[in-house]
Chains A and B, each alone.
Chain A
Amino acid sequence: MSLMFEKVLNVSSGQILPERPPAGLAFLNGVCEHMGIEYSSLDLNLFINQELDEETWVRLEQVTPFYPVTDESVLSIVDDVLDKFCDRVQSFDPDLIMVSVLSYYQNFWAQSFLEKLKSLGLKAKVMIGGTGIGVPLGDETKDTFAKMLLRKELIDYYVLGEGDMILQSFLRDGTISPGINHRNTRALPGTETETWAQQIDELDQCPTPSYKQMDLDSYPNELGVTGSRGCVRRCTFCDVGHYWKKFRFRSGESIAREIEQHYRDTGRTRYVFTDSLINGSLKSFRDMLATMAKVREDNNGMPELQLLGQFIIRPSRFHPEQMFREMRTAGIHELSIGVESGSEKVREHIGKKFSNEDIDWHMEMCSKYGIQNNLLMMVGYPTETEEDFNESMDMLDRYQKYTIDKTVRHVNESYPLVLLKNTPLHHMADDLDISGFNDQEYFNVTWVSGKNPKLTIHERFKRFVRWQRRLIKLGYWRPQTLRVIIRELMRQIENLSERTLSDRVKTDILS
């Protein structure tokens, strides 16, 4: 069968710690493999990591996530790295390059790569996809990142939504289905008109991601697996519901069999679910646990496989002790749980639907069955009062004991709450009397709520510092990325001070 494209190169962007082969790349590889297309894949992130010494990597890691980057010395390093990287691209001589951008933080490297690619004048068409491409740039064009790339002719196509099915028909005969945007559609700069792929109902029909052509020895012993898309909750701060309107999940058996297959193909023993939550469907989750247990039983000599993923807490009647026992047997090793706050009132506003008693039960069971947890927390939710915040601090005291046996292995909070566009909170902005929110900016930390006037920007940032100090005092390990986060907050404060000063000068002049 003749295909529209004969040689496809899949590329993923940087820069994050290369903890595992990028799932986005495995996804694209899986589609190509399914179509029988000759393909190769290059992980730019890994390449950067291998090219730079540790000091330079850290230096760039602190600036490249925040788009745009203007530091000339950084740009020069980036240019050198990309020169070498593009040699590899050229040596494969593809006729299509598909670029995966995991998140907003990879946009700088993605754009730099695309600019370098354009300067080489390759004949290959370029397509880009991933959740990072839809974020607004926050400038006067009102473009998203993807639209800007299209406007600058750095890409030929961008994909919004799930690409599993539409990519197959595109690769086959160039079909432009909804979700594939290009210059000849109405996705014009500065317009809102663009198409999204229809959400796939039957995930079991999607091609299986493939890691076969990836240099797995260059990564830690870890692979990504996707068991579901979307979420069963609509937490107010989260934009997952915008990208995936419905929660869709694979059968538990097919997930377990995929893991078994990856183990056979690659020998990897640690699997990280990319899902928003692995137990959205309790039925599928428990089927997966049962099949994993069977896989272990049937494969005498197979080492214990470790499974890690995001998980939602529910009351004990839904999550009985037996389920935790099954989790342990199946190899569930670490869970990331969105606790968000120690205050039930705040969690209720978020839409979490579990009590402090439910969290206590979860911790007790995880401690008993040796399952580690990563608590995802936030500081400065719009309705958070001093009392609510203190309840979160008290929770840290209460759960300190769980750091001993690693039932609590991490506590992650990124920033004082970032208000994201396309979230329920964004839609509640009027109800909460939120001001200072610029919906052309992705990174909104400097908002205020008229309904909670004591939670000023100053207060919110102070709580963040108090929170960090308590964590350090109690001996919780802190993420390496915290240094980057603190520096970014300082930059935000400087920007805010300049804006405030500039506003005052304007006011003075006007008066």
Chain B
Amino acid sequence: MTRLTFEFTATECNGWPNIHIYIDDDHYETFEVSEHREKVTIPFDLLDGEHEVEIQLFGKSERSTVLDGSGKIVRDQILTLEDIYVDDIKIPRFFMYEGRYYDVPEGRQALTWGMNNVSWKWCFETPLIGWVVHRMNAKTDETAGDDLNMYSDKKVEELTALLNELEGKIDELDV
């Protein structure tokens, strides 16, 4: 079982935001925000492969947005995605920016949501932790790492070749 947690900040305006959370179109959670900062955790056990999580704001009414005389918004019920956690570990923010908010047909990069019945969708793969780790490593510039460690496809290839060579020698050993 893996736990995916979304941390939000919200603003109240004649009520707090409400959300539905779906994974691969299955409904997993309905959550009513009741504080400025909230966390929602979704435990799941999915088959290995590609998946999509969808967070949809719902229940927002005309009263949830207050305008002044010139039509400028002075108070609004909105929700901002602050962080994503996997098994209580915060993952880098670049993952969040890969999600798309569908207030326009092609979607756009946005983490603050205020439109009723509009969804933010984020694609991920399971096993989730392994996917996150490997995506992070793939983004790592080996020269920007530290002296002790290395990670790059090239270095992994080199190491794997060396390990194969070592294993070949071990196999010749009969002690």
A residues near B (Cβ < 8 Å) are 17, 19, 220, 367, 400-405, 407, 409-410, 446, 448, 456-458, 461-462, 465, 468-469, 472, 474-475, 477-483, 486-487, 489-490, 493-494, 496-497, 500
Q: Which 7 residue pairs are nearest across A and B when measured between Cβ atoms? A: A477-B149, A475-B133, A461-B170, A493-B169, A477-B151, A486-B162, A457-B175
Cβ-based interface call for B66 (8 A):
no
One of B26-34, B81-89, B111-119 contacting the partner: B81-89
Pair A469/B91 contact, Cβ less than 8 Å: no
Complex-state Cα separation, A457 to B174, whole angstroms = 9
Chain B residue numbers with a CB within 8 Å of A220 are: 147
Within 128-152 of B, Cβ neighbours of A (below 8 Å) are at 129-130, 132-134, 136-137, 145, 147-151
B149 pairs with A410, CB closer than 8 A: yes
Q: Given A367-B88, A475-B130, A496-B173, is A480 in contact with B158 using a C-beta cutoff of 8 Å?
A: no
Q: Is the CB of B148 within 8 A of A410?
A: yes
Please name 13 pairs of A and B residues whose Cβ atoms are closer than 8 Å in the assembled complex, sorted by A.
A401-B129, A402-B89, A404-B90, A404-B133, A458-B175, A461-B173, A468-B159, A478-B150, A479-B150, A480-B150, A486-B165, A493-B169, A493-B170
Cα-based distance from A486 to B147 in the complex (angstroms): 18
- Residues of chain A contacted by B89 (CB below 8 angstroms): 367, 401-402, 404-405, 407
Q: Measured between C-beta atoms, what is the minimum distance from A96 to chain B in Å?
A: 33
Tell me the complex Cα distance, A461–B172, Å.
Answer: 12
| Given known contacts A404-B133, A475-B130, A496-B173, A490 and B149 CB-to-CB distance under 8 angstroms | no
Compute how far the CA of A487 lies from the CA of B161 in the bound complex, rounded to whole angstroms: 12
List the A side residues contacting B148 at CB < 8 Å. 410, 479-481
Query: Which residues from chain B sit less than 8 Å from chain A, CB to CB?
Result: 86-92, 129-130, 132-134, 136-137, 145, 147-151, 155-156, 158-160, 162-163, 165-167, 169-170, 172-175
**A493 nearest CB neighbor, chain B only:** B169
Whether the pair B167, A462 counts as a contact (CB closer than 8 A) is: yes
Asked if B130 and A474 make an inter-chain contact with CB atoms under 8 angstroms apart, the answer reads yes
Main secondary structure of the interface of A (DSSP, over half): helix
CB neighbours of A487 from chain B (8 A): 162
| Shortest distance between the CB of A79 and any CB in chain B (Å) | 28
The answer to whether A472 touches B166 (Cβ under 8 A) is: no
Q: How far is the CB of A466 from chain B (nearest CB, A)?
A: 9
For A458, what are the chain B residues with a Cβ–Cβ distance below 8 Å? 170, 173-175
Across the interface, name the chain A residue whose C-beta is closest to B158. A483
B133 touches A400 (CB 8 A): yes
- B130 contacts A400, CB within 8 Å? yes
Residues on B with beta carbons closer than 8 Å to the beta carbon of A446: 175
- CB neighbours of A456 from chain B (8 A): 175
Contact B170 A465 (CB under 8 A): yes
- Contact present for B149 and A478 (CB under 8 Å): yes
Shortest CB distance B153–A (Å): 11
CA distance A462 to B171 in the complex (A): 9
Is B163 a contact partner of A486 (Cβ separation < 8 A)?
Answer: yes
Q: How far is the CB of A436 from chain B (nearest CB, A)?
A: 9
- With the chains together, A448 CA to B175 CA distance in Å? 9
4 extra interface residue pairs, beta carbon distance < 8 Å, beyond A400-B129, A401-B89, A472-B159: A401-B87, A475-B136, A480-B149, A493-B172
